[in-house]
């Protein structure tokens, strides 16, 4: 058992920092809020007012003195030991519980009473010391960290900050060493973030000795085992001056033992499972008047300040979590070899790892800055604490998500620990102040301060001739200050190496202050309704404060000559470049006329529940399916066979875009719907499909049991869904690609796990035989796979190969008799591997070059039956999501495969594998289009009915923007999916880049849409009952499998650039000797003058509806700058462009944005021309998207060309190398205690 009783007694007293103890400092912070005479020292508050206040920014708060540091250091090893030897995070998560032994160890350690003074049984830690403990706990187990934090922070701080001496003496010993848990009970059903609107009543008894409380509280962390609750209720009070009666919120200390107190069962949540979240019921509970906390009517202030004083603790936990994520990612990319080199050697991997590390550094810096200032006695930390909470929770989400992406399939497995972190992190953006609400708090609180400073001038300007003196006086004041007029100078405060970064931060402060003043002049009090702009104001404030914070911390590292100084300087420079760029973007969006128009479109797009639902329904019905052929299967096969037809001109829009050519054959007009017969055919399957998913399939059960019941599987076979693509002559449905999209949308709208269960069979599990099988193979296997109730699976990936498919190690050796191949090796993460009996798999075979006689290994494809000797599968993988898809490893141990089971030609396996994947990628977008539709519907239903702050959520502009963008992302994804499928059905052989674009966009759009839906639903979205958390877990793998998105980005960029390079090669050679090749140069110049793309003349207006002329111009301008950029990169780098992955990633993103713009322009034009009911809605979304996407293209092109960003990339690479070398963070915390 671990105890802190070995710590020297001299430390066991209340800690002081600069003669301020955490208790008195915190109380002073609360009591001083009402003192209007005291100057506010908040950097942020003053920045809104156009003033530079550095007292709580420079220098960075110093760590503890030697004695305090020794005390903190003495706690570190026991805490690490507890988390590595006693606590079991996996078990806590699996059982949604913490065992008694672990709880006992927590009490013995004292971790549950870190803030309580020693004289009352606690450790008496200051805020900074507690941050160190929270970082350690968060690096191991967020759920247990939350269990601890809910008790030690919000569960006890109410009594610590506001309790009377009697209340402290009674309750704090119980909460510190009496093994009694406390909890904070504020939220109620229906109130959410609107704390002031709680309905719980507290009525004073006639005798005046107690209050009777009635009501309930929702989502109480630790509520299941807490015995003391800090809770809040409305109390009727009488205004002494007017005699008017009104309800005012009051805080109470409620014991579980009081009659009428009970809790509901634990909530079933996405994460933080062991924190035991419950509903609390108070039924005629008699609470003694002595248990009123603080003054009657002060409950709202108490609740807000309890939350404010504890927000930095969330950042501390998440700083630790991010540290672990970076370590896991660094270890993986430093050891994993792909494409012949370690992952860390690729620039796009370096960028990810460096940005993850930098975000952790920023988050940690904010956390120690806020807690350090609180320990110094700050009473003006509330905006900074809110900034810290928003930034840290969003940074942690991004860092963990990127770590999973870097680990690939390994990150999706429970064994990595990362998926647990991601599930746990999700609610941090919702509780203790939802981030969207905190953004409004930051912006409006700051605006209020700025408004007061500006009010005298505003009043004077109404009658300038009569108030000239006031105007001149205020003008003199403003001339004397620097902020907001281009003169802010942070250079005196920072290290010499950070002068340019300080300039970036200072310029951001100036443009921000000017923007705030402009908004106030334009809108006055009406700014409160301008949430589109306010959200950007808040983001600017967050970025500026985060820049200033890292400048301060990195300067300290230089001054103290810390070992991490060089690394800290690099990260401060990286962050100031990134954040200042984002400030510029947001200021542009605040002031730009085009973006103001875009905000109006978003508001028009989404107003009421009925319109939202109708919009989604119209999107789906407006494009039922796209096809002009009877058999998409035949065309898919033809596409593969024709891909080697060199003389045939390439009709791909994206491929030609890279070469500066406008190819519209597969873009305008939008692929037309099915003919009547084809429409009726697919329509006949829609109702049975919906009925299957609503009446037969049980998505929640599939997820909970990681299996599918036999009756459900039988129903799948009976419906024919598993033979969707197989021609009718082999027992299948013979659907075209577009017809299958419609059914996949339905399945994805209900159950992604089942969608993959069926999809892995019907697409990649059967398409190899369908596309490359000979007559005998098709006749033997396709009937089994369509109606014979035999599952197929695709087995390509191997341990160690990941996305590098060409490097498979499985061997296939031809037997001496020549009748069979002997296969040895294994395949990893085979979807449906546990139920499949027929595998399309790949192995290296020895091939002899007929010209040279040289022997070499080339990949070949095989059809392998489970019944073949030596074939076996491992147990199902334990995954984050799509649990019922039965993912397993497949083993081949001297497996004998008949030569007639060779699929396609020997040595053609790589091409076969790639084309199977290419031909099925649109299917992932189809499933996710359905998922997004459901997410939009759930979100629309919630925001249209939920009332917060006395109005429906949908009436707030920031909610409108979220919902509008979710609907728009769905529209774009659906448009891409039907575009690609429709072109394939028309016989396209040049769809490979478009299919890759579709896969990348749809998988990332779905992640965004589902995540935003959860955010809009708040705590409800985090609960399993919403179904959204299951969608989010399921879809996480979609960005990894069937071509990891990072690899597909390189595929898009390099394939396109290769095409452009071929077209440019003649000119490049000629330019090496311009005088000797003048004729060729002039001829090429004439050719380039004739074409429009790339020289500012692209014109899409003839192809689009009149309402979309401006949107078409935005798309065309993006095409022009893109084409010029490709040419510039090729001229400059030639073949060396392959190593420029920083730039290539931006090239790919630009190509994706341009193709998505073109696709929605085409589809919305079709809706307008046909007078579809959804036409006005589609036109709005096309306009919204072209504004958003063209803006991103401009930013990406700027990042490709900018000299400052080239330096930025070099810094990123260096940080990544440092992290790789250390296999983790090269910096420690500001206490320098590991």
Q: Which residues are catalytic?
A: 1042
Q: Which H, E and C letters describe 870-892, residue by residue?
A: CEEECCCCCECCCHHHCCEEEEE
Strand partners, 16: 21
Residue 766 CA to residue 763 CA, distance in Å, equals 6
Phi, psi of 620 (to 5 degrees): -75, -35
Phi-psi region of 847 (alpha: psi -120 to 50; beta: other; left: phi over 0): beta
Residue 1065 CA to residue 27 CA, distance in Å, equals 73
Contact criterion met (CB below 8 Å) for 234 and 213: no
Helix (H) or strand (E) holding 830: strand 820-830
Residue 1103 CA to residue 1090 CA, distance in Å, equals 20
Could you tell me where the beta strands, DSSP code E, fall in 9-141? 16-17, 20-21
Q: Which of 899, 904, 975 is nearest to 1186 (CA)?
A: 975
Residue 56 CA to residue 380 CA, distance in Å, equals 9
Torsion sign, CA atoms 873, 876, 880, 881: positive
Chain Cα centroid distance, residue 895: 43
CA dihedral 1137, 1142, 1145, 1147 (to 10 degrees): -60
Contact criterion met (CB below 8 Å) for 674 and 1023: no
Contact criterion met (CB below 8 Å) for 958 and 532: yes
Contact criterion met (CB below 8 Å) for 143 and 89: yes
Strand partners, 903: 861
Which is it for strands 871-873 and 820-830: parallel, antiparallel or unpaired? Answer: unpaired
Q: Which of 1171, 1194, 1166 is nearest to 1182 (CA)?
A: 1166
Residue 113 CA to residue 172 CA, distance in Å, equals 9
Residue 1130 CA to residue 1136 CA, distance in Å, equals 9
Interhelix angle 737-750/676-691, rounded to 10 degrees, is: 20
Helix (H) or strand (E) holding 364: helix 347-375
Phi, psi of 626 (to 5 degrees): -120, 125
Residue 433 CA to residue 389 CA, distance in Å, equals 9
Structure tokens belonging to residue 273: 């499972």
Contact criterion met (CB below 8 Å) for 197 and 210: no
Structure tokens belonging to residue 743: 């059914």
Phi, psi of 348 (to 5 degrees): -65, -30
Terminal-to-terminal C-alpha distance of the chain: 22
Query: CA-CA distances (angstroms) from residue 1127 to 603, 1063, 1070, 1113?
Result: 40, 10, 15, 21
**Tally of CB atoms within 10 A around 1066:** 14
């Amino acid at each position: 058992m671990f105890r802190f009783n070995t710590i020297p007694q001299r430390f066991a007293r209340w800690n002081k920092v600069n003669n301020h103890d955490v208790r008195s400092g915190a109380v002073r912070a609360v009591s001083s809020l009402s003192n209007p005479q005291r100057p506010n020292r908040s950097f942020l508050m003053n920045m809104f007012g156009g003033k530079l206040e550095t007292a709580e920014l420079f220098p960075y708060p110093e760590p503890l003195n030697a004695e305090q540091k020794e005390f903190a250091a003495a706690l570190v090893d026991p805490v690490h030991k507890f988390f590595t030897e006693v606590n079991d995070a996996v078990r806590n998560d699996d059982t949604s519980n913490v065992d008694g032994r672990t709880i006992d160890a927590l009490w013995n350690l004292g971790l549950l009473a870190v803030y309580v003074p020693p004289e009352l049984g606690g450790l008496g830690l200051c805020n900074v010391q507690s941050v160190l403990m929270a970082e350690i706990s968060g690096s191991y187990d967020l759920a247990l960290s939350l269990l601890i934090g809910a008790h030690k922070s919000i569960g006890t701080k109410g009594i610590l900050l506001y309790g009377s001496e009697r209340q402290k003496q009674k309750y704090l010993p119980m909460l510190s060493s009496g093994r009694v848990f406390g909890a904070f009970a504020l939220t109620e059903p229906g109130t959410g973030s609107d704390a002031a609107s709680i309905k719980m009543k507290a009525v004073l008894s006639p005798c005046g000795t107690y209050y009777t409380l009635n009501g309930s509280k929702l989502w109480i962390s630790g509520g299941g085992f807490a015995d003391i609750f800090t809770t809040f209720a409305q109390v009727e009070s009488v205004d002494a001056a007017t005699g008017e009666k009104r309800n005012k919120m009051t805080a109470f200390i409620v014991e579980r033992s009081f009659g009428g107190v009970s809790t509901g069962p634990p909530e079933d949540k996405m994460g933080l499972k062991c924190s035991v979240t419950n509903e609390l019921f108070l039924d005629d509970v008699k609470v003694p008047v002595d248990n009123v906390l603080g003054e009657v009517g002060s409950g709202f202030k108490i609740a807000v300040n309890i939350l404010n004083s504890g927000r930095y603790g969330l950042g501390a936990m998440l700083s630790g979590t991010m540290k672990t994520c970076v370590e896991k990612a660094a270890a993986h990319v430093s050891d994993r070899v792909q494409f012949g080199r370690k992952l860390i050697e690729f620039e796009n991997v370096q960028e990810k790892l460096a940005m993850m590390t930098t975000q952790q550094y920023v988050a940690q810096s904010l956390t120690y800055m806020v807690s350090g200032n609180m320990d110094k006695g700050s009473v003006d930390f509330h905006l900074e604490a809110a900034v810290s909470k928003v930034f840290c929770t969003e940074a942690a989400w991004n860092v963990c998500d990127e770590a999973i992406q870097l680990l690939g399939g390994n990150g999706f497995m429970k064994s990595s620990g990362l998926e647990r972190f991601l599930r746990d992190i999700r609610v941090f953006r919702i509780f203790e102040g939802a981030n969207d609400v905190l953004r409004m708090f930051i912006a409006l609180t700051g605006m209020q301060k700025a408004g007061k400073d500006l009010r005298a001038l505003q009043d004077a300007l109404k009658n300038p001739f009569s108030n000239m003196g006031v105007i001149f006086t205020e003008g003199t004041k403003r001339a004397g200050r620097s902020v907001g007029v281009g003169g802010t100078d942070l250079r005196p405060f920072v290290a010499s190496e950070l002068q340019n970064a300080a300039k970036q931060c200072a310029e951001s402060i100036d443009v921000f202050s000017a923007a705030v003043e402009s908004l106030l002049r334009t809108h006055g009090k009406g700014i409160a309704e301008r949430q589109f702009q306010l959200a950007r104001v808040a983001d600017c404030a967050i970025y500026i404060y985060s820049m200033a914070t890292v400048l301060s911390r990195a300067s300290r590292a230089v001054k103290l000559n810390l070992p991490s100084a060089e690394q800290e300087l690099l990260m401060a420079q990286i962050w100031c470049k990134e954040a200042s760029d984002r400030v510029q973007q947001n200021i542009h969006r605040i002031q730009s006329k085009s973006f103001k128009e875009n905000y109006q479109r978003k508001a028009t797009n989404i107003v009421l529940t009925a319109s939202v639902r109708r919009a989604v329904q119209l999107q789906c019905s407006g494009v039922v399916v796209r096809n002009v052929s009877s058999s998409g299967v035949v065309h898919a096969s033809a596409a593969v066979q024709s891909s080697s037809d060199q003389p045939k001109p390439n009709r791909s829009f994206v491929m030609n875009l890279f070469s500066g050519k406008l190819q519209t054959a597969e873009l305008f007009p939008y692929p037309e719907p099915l003919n009547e017969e084809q429409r009726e055919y697919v329509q006949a399957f829609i109702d049975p499909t919906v009925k299957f998913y609503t009446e037969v399939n049980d998505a929640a059960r599939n997820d909970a049991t990681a299996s599918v019941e036999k009756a459900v599987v039988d129903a799948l076979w009976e419906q024919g869904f598993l033979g969707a693509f197989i021609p009718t002559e082999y027992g299948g449905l013979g659907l075209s690609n577009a017809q299958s999209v419609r059914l996949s949308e339905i399945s994805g709208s209900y159950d992604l796990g089942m969608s993959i269960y069926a999809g892995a069979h019907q697409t990649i599990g059967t398409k190899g035989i369908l596309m490359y099988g000979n007559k005998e193979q098709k006749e033997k296997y396709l009937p089994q796979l369509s109606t014979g109730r035999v599952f197929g699976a695709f087995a390509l990936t191997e341990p160690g190969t990941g996305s590098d498919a060409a490097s498979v190690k499985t061997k296939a050796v031809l037997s001496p008799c020549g009748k069979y191949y002997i296969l040895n090796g294994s395949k990893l993460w085979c979807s449906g591997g546990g139920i499949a009996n027929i595998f399309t798999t790949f192995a290296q075979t020895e091939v002899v070059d007929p010209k040279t006689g040289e022997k070499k290994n080339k990949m070949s494809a095989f059809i392998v039956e489970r019944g073949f000797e030596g074939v076996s599968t491992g147990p199902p993988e334990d995954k984050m999501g799509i649990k019922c898809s039965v993912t397993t490893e497949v083993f081949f141990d001297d497996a004998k495969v008949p030569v007639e089971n060779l699929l396609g030609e020997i040595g053609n396996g790589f091409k076969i594998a790639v084309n199977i994947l290419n031909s099925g990628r649109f299917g992932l977008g189809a499933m996710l289009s359905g998922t997004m539709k459901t997410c939009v519907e759930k979100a629309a239903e919630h925001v249209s009915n939920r009332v917060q702050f006395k109005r429906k959520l949908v009436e707030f502009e920031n909610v409108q923007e979220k919902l509008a963008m979710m609907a728009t992302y769905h529209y774009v994804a659906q448009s891409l999916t039907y575009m690609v499928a429709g072109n394939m059905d028309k016989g396209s052989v040049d769809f490979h880049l478009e299919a890759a674009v579709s896969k990348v966009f749809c998988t990332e759009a779905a992640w965004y849409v589902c995540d935003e839906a959860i955010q809009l639903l708040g705590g409800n979205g985090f609960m399993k009952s919403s179904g959204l958390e299951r969608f989010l877990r399921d879809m996480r793998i979609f960005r990894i499998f069937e071509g990891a998105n990072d690899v597909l980005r390189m595929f898009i960029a390099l394939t396109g650039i290769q095409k452009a390079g071929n077209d440019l090669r003649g000119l490049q050679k000629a330019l090496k000797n311009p005088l000797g090749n003048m004729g060729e140069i002039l001829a090429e110049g004439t050719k380039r003058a004739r074409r429009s793309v790339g020289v500012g003349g692209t014109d899409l207006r003839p192809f689009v509806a009149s309402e979309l002329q401006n949107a078409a111009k935005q798309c065309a301008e993006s095409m022009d700058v893109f084409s010029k950029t490709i040419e510039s990169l090729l001229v400059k780098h030639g073949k060396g462009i392959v190593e420029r992955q920083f730039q290539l990633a931006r090239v790919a993103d630009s190509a994706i944005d341009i193709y998505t713009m073109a696709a929605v322009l085409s589809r919305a034009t079709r809706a307008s021309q046909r007078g579809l009911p959804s036409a006005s809605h589609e036109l709005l979304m096309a306009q919204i998207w072209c504004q958003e996407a063209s803006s991103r293209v401009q930013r990406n092109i700027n990042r490709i060309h900018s000299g400052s960003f080239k330096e930025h990339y070099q810094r990123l690479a260096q940080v990544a190398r440092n992290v790789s070398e250390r296999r983790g963070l090269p910096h420690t915390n500001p206490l320098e205690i590991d």
